[in-house]
Amino acid sequence: MKVAIGIDIGTTAARAVGVADSGRVIAAATSAYPLLTPRPQWTEQDPARWWQAAQIVLAEIVTRAGEQRGSVAGIGLTGQMHGSVFLDSAGEVIRPALLWNDQRTAAQCAWITERIGRDQLIKIAGNPALTGFQAPKVIWLRDNEPASYRRVAHVLLPKDYVRYRLSGDLATDASDAAGTLFLDLRARNWSADICDALEVDAGWLPEVCESPDPTGTVQSAVAAELRLPPGVPVAAGGGDNAAAAIGTGIAGEGMASSSVGTSGVVFAHTGSPVIDAAGRVHAFCHAVPAAYALLGVTLSAGGSLRWWRDVTGRDYPALVAAASEVPPGSEGLLFLPYLSGERTPHADPDARGAFFGLTARHTLAHLTRALMEGVLFSLREALDTIRDLGVHPAHLRATGGGSTSELWRQLQADIYGLAVWRLAVDEGAAYGAALLGHVAGGTFRDVNEAMTLVRPLEQADEPEPGARAIYDDLYAVYRCLYPKTAQAMHRLSALAAR
Q: How far apart are CA 122 and CA 443, in angstroms?
A: 38
Q: How far, in Å, are 156, 220, 231 from residue 214 at the CA level?
A: 18, 16, 11
Our CA dihedral for 104, 110, 115, 120, rounded to 10 degrees, sits at: 110
Q: How far, in Å, are 24, 138, 159 from residue 173 at the CA level?
A: 26, 19, 10
Our CA dihedral for 11, 16, 21, 25, rounded to 10 degrees, sits at: -100
- The β-bridge relationship of strands 207-209 and 214-217 is unpaired
The DSSP bridge partners found for residue 402 are none
Instruction: Identify whether 240 is a catalytic site residue.
Output: yes
What are the start-end ranges of the H helices in 2-117?
47-67, 106-116
What are the start-end ranges of the H helices in 217-301?
220-226, 240-247
| Helix-strand-coil split of the chain, %, nearest 5 | 40, 20, 35
Q: How far apart are CA 182 and CA 185, in angstroms?
A: 9
In this structure, what are the phi and psi dihedrals at residue 270, rounded to the nearest 5 degrees?
-135, 145
The DSSP bridge partners found for residue 420 are 396, 461
CA 434, 430, 389, 128 torsion-angle sign:
negative
The single residue of 160, 184, 213, 240 carrying the catalytic annotation is 240
Give the active site residues: 240
